[in-house]
Chain A
Amino acid sequence: MSELTHLTLAQARDALRSKKISATELTKAHLNAMEKARLLNCYITETPELALDQARQSDARLAEGNAGPLEGLPIGVKDLYCTKGVRTTAASRILDHFTPTYESTVSSNLMRDGAISLGKLNLDEFAMGSSNETSAFGPVVSPWRRRSDPEAKIVPGGSSGGSSAAVAAHLCLAATATDTGGSIRQPAAFTGTVGIKPTYGRCSRWGIVAFASSLDQAGPITRTVRDAAIMLRSMAGHDAKDTTSVDLPVSDYEKAVGQSVKGRRIGVPKEYRIEGMSPEILQFWDQGVAWLKDAGAEIVEISLPHTKYALPTYYIIAPAEASSNLARYDGVRYGLREAGRDIADMYEKTRAKGFGSEVRRRIMIGTYVLSAGYYDAYYVRAQKVRSLIKQDFDLAFAAGVDAVLTPATPSTAFAQGEQGSNDPVEMYLNDVFTVTVNMAGLPGIAVPGGCAANGLPLGLQLIGRPFEEETLFALASAIEQAAPKIEYPKPWWA
């Protein structure tokens, strides 16, 4: 059975089409693996009956010869996506008993194409975190272990930590995720998986619990670049229900995988060589440059002068938008309610009990920077700096750069409790290389490039021009071919 969970999404698709395997046996193999992996805490809600029901329908469609592009492929869905009739929590107590009566556009696109949902994946509460430790349902444990200290529980990154860990532990063929400041790419880098945040507007945000609406984008986490391309094709597309979703045709991204990258111009931004960066990460980045050079790409040094302001800008804009979006959790329409002596007291007690400390902190920061007297000094100024950050990329692309290569994260994964317990800013620094991409609305992909001396995976990030995801798939697959193959951990948890 375990062999079935070790297929890539593309291999499973081909095996289903050629009738070598059935959707039902493929689904059962994954449900079985999930049952043995509860220690990792990847899933908040498992939906085995629904999955087997969908598998039977997929098998019928495969037999009839009218299979969709993802027919019969079991995936996991981040519990930030509203799913009709299936509890959706955003990993928060405030939504503990929330069961949507509708399906998010992206997950419904995946189901339309025949994908099977195995359940809802754990995440940082409301997608606010970089280690999955802020989840009200407990942290996710990465399948990866440190060589020197195998007992330490390693974090899978965040916020899409359930997605990245489940994919790396073979508990689904692929997973949906979301990215507001790095929440797809950082967990992908921490777990040796591939994660792409597409261009802002490429995927509909409708039905995905909102965090920071001008930054949020959906995307997949998978074990190969090809699988990410297959997933994104189904997830992307115009949706009248999201006014920021773009009415542009969706390409067959899989065709870009393996395409030559000869003559592509790759920018290497000097500002990403930040102070205190480990020599190992710098060396790894140089290795990535060498791989693309060997594949025929041209390497140029570029300057993105406002890089160092991206993270501070993010920590004004994202909390500001979050404080507004999360105002809806008031104990009236859905979710938790705590009794109070009047309506304001009811709101305050409900929100104090329902939100975890990181979420409360971000709502308060956001409220402060939007409040009278501080709005111009913080929020408007941050929106201006955001224009400058975007302009840096515009200028680089105008000068002929096709994509930018950076490390995905400033370090490998850490262990639970090691970061951010005294100073929240320490945890925020995880997103230093990824957050610029959200600020500028660009597509970014994280692709594994091997393992560090501590035995944990390292990821490279490629940043592309708006709506040129195909370029990223071509370049990422060149790195995937050149890099040492990722050996995912043996199931010590089973």
Chain B
Amino acid sequence: MSVDPSVVRRIAHLSRIAVDDNEVSRLNGEINAILSFVETLSSVNVEGVEPIASVLPMQMKKRPDVVTDGGIADDILVNAPAREDHYFVVPKVIE
């Protein structure tokens, strides 16, 4: 399988990464090189093989459903590029 420039633009948008025209053609070549590299997997017989869920037979750990943390709004906001009181500030999303 290979991709064309329109697919590259679509992937870039899904990834929320802005790309300009020059980049699209470069990325197109690079992505196709990687896709052709992984193409070999289509020749592996995977009939009846389960997709791996965990490398080790481990049971997902559970803990009591109680609050163990909190009250650290200042810590959480300290690295935000834009904040007001205890809120993250983002561009307007609802007109």
Contacts and interface: CB of A to CB of B under 8 A. Distances in A.
A386 B51 CA distance: 7
Contact of B90 (A102, A243, A343, A386): A343
B56 A200 contact: yes
A333 B76 CA distance: 8
A367 B51 contact: no
A336 interface: yes
Nearest to A441: B55
Q: How large is the interface on A (under 10, 10 to 19, 20 to 34, 35 or more residues)?
A: 35 or more
A207 B91 CA distance: 29
Interface in A368-399: 368, 371, 374, 377-378, 380-388, 390
A347 B51 contact: no
A453 interface: no
Interface stretch (A4-12, A304-312, A454-462, A485-493): A304-312
B86 interface: no
B18 A352 contact: yes
B67 interface: no
Nearest to A370: B14
Contacts of B82: 337
Contact of A344 (B1, B16, B56, B92): B16
Interface string A95-127: 001110110000000000000000000000000
Interface residues of B, number: 50
A343 B89 CA distance: 11
B16 A385 contact: no
Given A342-B91, A363-B17, A425 B81 contact: no
A340 B51 contact: no
B28 to A, nearest CB: 11
Contacts of B54: 214, 244
Nearest to B57: A466
A473 interface: no
Contacts of A214: 54-55
A425 B33 contact: yes
B55 A348 contact: no
Contacts of A351: 15-18
Interface of A is mostly: helix
B66 interface: no
Interface centre among B7, B11, B15, B42 (most CB of A within 10 A): B15
B58 A387 contact: no
A210 to B, nearest CB: 16
B55 to A, nearest CB: 3
Given A244-B58, A347-B16, A387 B49 contact: yes
22 contacts: A200-B55, A200-B56, A214-B54, A214-B55, A244-B54, A309-B40, A309-B44, A316-B38, A333-B79, A335-B81, A337-B81, A337-B82, A344-B16, A352-B18, A368-B11, A381-B41, A381-B46, A382-B38, A385-B46, A386-B51, A387-B49, A424-B34
Interface of B: 1, 3, 7-8, 11-19, 27, 30-31, 33-34, 37-42, 44, 46, 49-52, 54-56, 58, 60-61, 63, 72, 75-76, 78-82, 88, 90-93
Given A333-B88, A368-B3, A387-B49, 13 more contacts: A243-B61, A244-B54, A335-B81, A343-B91, A345-B18, A349-B18, A351-B16, A361-B31, A365-B34, A368-B11, A390-B52, A425-B34, A439-B55
